[in-house]
Amino acid sequence: MLDIKFIRENPDKVKEGIKNKGVKVDIDLLLKLDKERRKLLQEVEGLRAEQNKVTNDIAKIKNGKERTAKLGEMKKLKGDLKKKEEKLKTGSGEFEKLLFSVPNVPLEGVPVGKDESDNKVLREEGKKPKFGFKPKEYLEIAEKLDLIDIERAAKVSGSRFGYIKKELVLLEFALVKLAMEEATKEGFIPIIPPTMINEDSMRGMGYMERGSEDIYHLEKDNLYLVGTSEQSIGPMHAAEVFNGGDLPKRYVAFSSCFRREAGSYGKDTKGILRVHQFDKVELFSFVKAEDSKKEHELLLSIEERLMQALKIPYRVINICTADLGDPAAAKYDIEAWMPGQNEYRETHSTSNTTDFQARRLQIRYKTKEGLQYVHMINGTAFANGRILIAIIENYQQKDGSIRVPDVLKKYVGFEEIK
């Protein structure tokens, strides 16, 4: 969430920021509730102080008449205090609910736009492969080689699921190995996090106010399945205080992820591009406030190095304001070239959430000036299913076989799938 002091001092900036995100929150009402809440808090504290004083006076009074009068005064004070406390509790609840609905404000340099069509292409990298034949889409190739089975998955689980099989499974774990090796060079700690988290953790990460329709909720246990391991790494350090020298704290996580894909009805319903369950390697950093922009660029550079190692053509996108999620203040996407589909498709993203998530989760670090909230950065190393698609389409051969990228051969022990 945003610092209420920041909102008080910069109401126009906040209004403009959330407007550019396409989100409606009544900031004037929020500030009105804040003012009322602070006034009530002062009144409650004043009544408590007065109550303490009367309690001390009663202990000193021996005269029965005076004591009776003071007890009457105490009774009235208790009644007034109870009413004020109840009013404060109600007002604080309304204030907090509205405060939590305010999204993060975009950083300077983020392109202002109304939807994803206003995202800006920063650069294109790599050479698109030239085929002496018309390239096929991944699913046609994979089904002929018995690498992906969506029909049996539909029988077992329904739509938007798939069985990944045979050599493609080995390629997936080769991707995990490659990502882990690249990330650990930069000091990222490997971790396998929980895939179910409690409500406080999911809310703390900023995904409950908007976008909750895509989250799987296990009502009996009141647990949520993560849509990305970012959601379980961030709360690891909830209510903790880092020493400044311990930062940056970096993790690289492997996990399965789960999304309802409620907002993508009718899109990519066949195959494994947009599914309810997928595996992912995620990068996550806790850093000092002054280092967050530099760390964001580091995560993007790791993503690019991985794509360059696979020799898959891609482009880097600067995401516009309206296409940012609630927690993100800035975001880059990487889109891989898919020759069989003749278009670029998103495979990576990396977001700087500044202190938005840390403030909700109360994650801070020590400075000479006192405690300060960390900044939290997340990014995709590999969304494995989508990278497998990119490999199949970019490394397909005329006879229907698939060459293995050179960088993965040492992990799998074969040079092609046929």
Which domains does the chain carry?
A: 4-100 (1.10.287.40), 116-417 (3.30.930.10)
Question: How many other C-beta atoms can be found within 10 angstroms of the C-beta atom of residue 282?
Answer: 27
**Structure confidence at residue 148 (pLDDT):** 96
Q: Report the pLDDT averaged over residues 247-276.
A: 86
pLDDT at 262: 66
Smallest CA-to-CA distance from 260 within 232, 225, 208, 220 is with 225
- Size of the chain, expressed as the number of residues it contains: 418
Q: Are 258 and 226 in contact (CB under 8 A)?
A: yes
Residue 312, helix vs strand vs coil: coil
Residue 284 scores a pLDDT above 70: yes
Identify which of 204, 203, 228, 7 has the alpha carbon closest to the alpha carbon of residue 105: 7
359 in catalytic set: no
Is it the case that residue 131 has pLDDT exceeding 90? yes
The answer to whether residues 118 and 22 touch, using CB atoms and an 8 Å cutoff, is no
pLDDT over 80 at 268, yes or no: no
Beta bridge partners of 249: 286
Q: What integer pLDDT is reported at residue 127 of this predicted model?
A: 94
pLDDT of 57 over the 80 cut: no
- Per-residue pLDDT reduced to its tens digit, 179-199: 999 999 999 999 999 999 999
Report how far apart, in Å, the C-alpha atoms of 275 and of each of 34, 214, 225, 237 are.
42, 12, 14, 30
Query: Whose structure tokens read 């799998």?
Result: 412
From 67, 260, 274, 315, the catalytic residue = 274
The average pLDDT across 207-216 equals: 86
| pLDDT in the model for residue 61 | 77
Average pLDDT score over the chain: 93
| Model pLDDT, residue 269 | 66
Which candidate, 209, 255, 210, 204, places its Cα nearest to that of 373? 204
User: Is a pLDDT exceeding 90 seen at residue 365?
Assistant: yes
Is 274 considered catalytic here?
Answer: yes
53 pLDDT band, cuts 50/70/90, is: confident
Residue 248: asked if its preceding bond is cis (omega within 30°), the reply is yes
pLDDT digits (tens, 9 = 90+) for 73-114: 888 888 888 898 999 999 999 999 999 999 999 999 999 999
Angstrom CA distances, 223 to 195, 202, 253, 401, stand at: 10, 9, 20, 43
pLDDT at 264: 62
d(CA 107, CA 83): 43
**Could you say which of 259, 359, 360, 364 is catalytic?**
259
- Residues 384 and 281: beta-carbon distance below 8 Å: yes
Active-site residue identified among 261, 335, 386, 393:
386
Query: Beta strand 277-287 with 314-318: parallel, antiparallel or unpaired?
Result: unpaired
Query: Given this model, what pLDDT does residue 52 score?
Result: 84
- What does the block give as tokens for 32? 């009105």
The amino acid sitting at 147 is L
How far lies 76's CA from each of 13, 63, 65, 383, in Å?
A: 45, 20, 17, 64
Cα–Cα distance measured from residue 138 to residue 334, given in angstroms and rounded to the nearest whole number: 19
pLDDT of residue 56: 81
**Catalytic residue flag (residue 140):** no
- The catalytic residue among 85, 125, 209, 346 is 346
Q: Which of 80, 79, 97 is nearest to 34 (CA)?
A: 97
Burial tier of 220 (Cβ tally within 10 Å: 0-12, 13-18, 19+)? exposed
- Rounded to whole angstroms, the maximal C-alpha distance in the chain is 108
Pick the closest to residue 102 from 171, 156, 26, 159 (CA basis).
Answer: 26
What pLDDT sits at residue 77? 85
- Percentage of residues of the chain with pLDDT beyond 90: 83
pLDDT score of 259 more than 80: yes
Residues 264 and 160: their CA atoms lie apart, in Å, by 11
Q: Helix crossing, 384-394 with 166-184: angle to 10°?
A: 110
Q: What's the average model confidence in pLDDT over 165-170? A: 97
CA angle 42, 35, 210 (to 5 degrees): 125
- Compute the distance between CA of residue 102 and CA of residue 401 in angstroms, rounded to an integer: 51
Helix, strand, coil shares of the chain, percent, nearest 5, are: 45, 20, 30
Instruction: Quote the pLDDT of residue 339.
Output: 97
Q: Which residue out of 201, 232, 285, 349 is catalytically annotated?
A: 349
